[in-house]
Amino acid sequence: MSDPLLPCLREQGGGPILQVLVRPRSSRNRIEGLQGDALKLSLAAAPVGNKANQDCLELLAHHLGLSPSQLWIKAGSKSHRKLIALEGCSLPHLQQRLRAILGEREQEIKGGSRPRRERRSQAGRGSG
């Protein structure tokens, strides 16, 4: 059964499928959060020579507690939007892991007092 709070994860063909939206050429590899029905990922690699796809699978495997060999790109290997098939894990386990990851990400966002741009623009201002 799919979780309405996690539209990026569903069961298809007897196994879990994760829909991701990849933003290559970012400053670092990280899970950004949900964007629509996809899990948004930032990847440092450029989409050249399959490096961004490899980094995508390694990042997800690391955060989901899986081996990279348990994930593969089912669709979208040359697209920003990808369907990732996962094997050797249950849908409830993945739902739990994704909720934890997204909860941590939300706490990081809430923990910052002001957005980075705002801090920079106010840093040079005097009080007088």
55 inside domain: yes
Q: What is the CATH number of the domain that holds 20?
A: 3.30.1200.10
pLDDT tens digit string along 47-67?
A: 999 999 999 999 999 999 999
d(CA 62, CA 97): 11
Q: CB atoms < 10 A from the CB of 78, how many? A: 9
Query: What pairing do the DSSP bridges indicate for beta strands 30-35 and 38-42?
Result: antiparallel
Q: How confident is the model at residue 106 (pLDDT cuts 50, 70, 90)?
A: confident
SS3 65: coil
38-80-65 Cα angle (round to 5): 55
Is the pTM above the cut of 0.85?
Answer: no
Q: 70 near 89, Cβ under 8 Å? A: yes
On the question of pLDDT at 113 being above 50, the answer is: no
127 inside domain: no
126 inside domain: no
pLDDT at 27: 95
Q: Write the CA distances from 37 to 40, 97, 118, integer angstroms.
A: 9, 17, 29
2 inside domain: no
71 inside domain: yes
101 inside domain: yes
Counting the structural domains of the chain, the total is 1
d(CA 126, CA 94): 49
Q: Which domain holds residue 99?
A: 9-111
Q: What is the mean pLDDT of residues 83-90?
A: 95
118 inside domain: no
38 inside domain: yes
pLDDT at 109: 72
